[in-house]
Amino acid sequence: MPLKRTLFEDDHELFRESVRSFVVKEVLPKRDQHRAKRLIDRDTWRKAGELGFLGLGVPAQYGGTDIDDFRFNAVLNEELARIGVGYASSIGIQVDIVAPYLIRLTTEEQKQRWLPGFCSGDIVTAIGMTEPEAGSDLAGLKTAAVRNGDGWIVNGSKTFITNGGNADLVVTAARTGGGPKGRGITLFGIEAGMEGFSRGRVLEKVGQHEADTAELFFNNVHVPDECVIGELDGGFKHMMEHLAQERMGSAITNISHARSAFDVTMQYVQDRNAFGRPIGTFQHNRFLLADLSTRLDVTQAYIDQCTLQHSQGELSPVDAAKAKWWSSEIQGQVIDACVQLHGGYGYMEEYEVAHQWMDARVTRIWAGSNEIMKEIIGRDLGLGDPR
């Protein structure tokens, strides 16, 4: 049995029951359809909005729940991750990543304009940071916005944008000034339908097929001043302030997804026989499963502590980096072993463990590659590059 967790209270567990019911009734029956079409349909988004899942942290006056407790986000991520990282990724972009920008940095007019549809699922959002030549190095982005009358002209492109093919609003980072790379970046709310804003192909990923991931192009897009989010030239600071939550969402998803693969495998090794007995009874397999179970429990304990600290506003960026890289590494180790225990069947897409294996690989790359996470941790130890 997994270690008893103390992170959640009764309200969180009641919320979990609601999310689990939504997953079973509304999402699982459509999972094959979502994977085939490479996106989550709008009815599913709106149902999530109707149940209050998209309004976590949003004030009630704008259609939200007034719940400002990241542990509820954690529950949502955990339950979605158990059926596919793509679901946690797509809905997490909205609830964990975009929401703080729209809640904390927008004007009253912007809140009235965007948040009600955001909470209802009528406005799907994306975050436009990553570019073909600027991934983990956000300060190196090249998309540029030039002042033009009462607004800005934006030119550039973004890639690997989750929800990009379906988004109605993209919080987009663009360079608005000169000077050092980390300065002179501003965030814009670019809306579907703005002239010059177009989408490229929905990218064919190795896994997470239910999440649409696309290229975005900005060709002389006129963006009015009313769509500037936060401080002019303050975008890099804003992005850095919100990365810890993105990394915690990733960490929570990683460990829940790994636990799901482990649970599937535990059932398989009890049902699958070889040489006249269940394969789980062989000493090597038994020891391997004991190892995986321990790794999951130890990692979960750390992630839970980080989640609690984040919900209290006390989590450091360094601990968020540790949580992100370690959980993704453990996830990879656990699911790779689960595929091995399934034998040849683990390589067949009709078995969920194959999808879990494909889904997991990118988590060591996104939200800042694990190499970048180690760089953050190493610098905190006083081991920065002396140059």
Choose among 133, 243, 229, 230: nearest CA to 190: 229
The strand pair at 169-175 and 151-162 is best described as unpaired
386 band by pLDDT with thresholds 50, 70 and 90: low
Strand partners of residue 185:
175, 234
Choose among 159, 136, 126: nearest CA to 39: 126
The pLDDT assigned to 182 comes to 60
Q: pLDDT over 70 for what percent of the chain?
A: 98
Q: What is the pLDDT of residues 91-107, one digit of tens each?
A: 999 999 999 999 999 99
42 band by pLDDT with thresholds 50, 70 and 90: very high
Phi, psi at residue 349, to the nearest 5°?
A: -65, -20
Residues 6 or more apart whose Cβ sits within 8 Å of residue 113 = none
Q: What angle do CA 55, 32, 98 make, to 5 degrees?
A: 25
* For range 189-214, the mean pLDDT: 96
Three-class SS of residue 240?
helix
Q: At what angle do helices 317-342 and 283-311 cross, to 10 degrees?
A: 150
The pLDDT assigned to 148 comes to 94
246 in active site:
yes
* For range 343-362, the mean pLDDT: 97
* For range 215-225, the mean pLDDT: 97
pLDDT at 135 over 90: no
Q: Which of 246, 329, 349, 375 is catalytic?
A: 246
pLDDT at 180 over 70: no
CATH class of segment(s) 127-233: mainly beta
d(CA 194, CA 102): 19
d(CA 40, CA 23): 13
CATH architecture of 237-380: Up-down Bundle (1.20)
Q: pLDDT over 90 for what percent of the chain?
A: 92
* For range 246-267, the mean pLDDT: 98
pLDDT at 190 over 90: yes
Which of the pair, 175 or 201, is modelled with greater confidence?
Answer: 175
* For range 277-304, the mean pLDDT: 98
The pLDDT assigned to 226 comes to 97
* For range 4-21, the mean pLDDT: 97
The pLDDT assigned to 181 comes to 61
Which of the pair, 134 or 286, is modelled with greater confidence?
Answer: 286
140 band by pLDDT with thresholds 50, 70 and 90: confident
Q: What is the pLDDT of residues 260-284, one digit of tens each?
A: 999 999 999 999 999 999 999 999 9
The pLDDT assigned to 345 comes to 97
With residue 151 as reference, give the H or E element that holds it: strand 151-162
With residue 99 as reference, give the H or E element that holds it: helix 99-104
pLDDT at 62 over 80: yes
pLDDT at 128 over 70: yes
pTM of the model: 0.95
CATH class of segment(s) 10-123: mainly alpha
Choose among 126, 127, 230: nearest CA to 185: 230
Q: Where are the domains of the chain?
A: 10-123, 127-233, 237-380
d(CA 32, CA 62): 34
Mean pLDDT score across all residues of the chain: 95
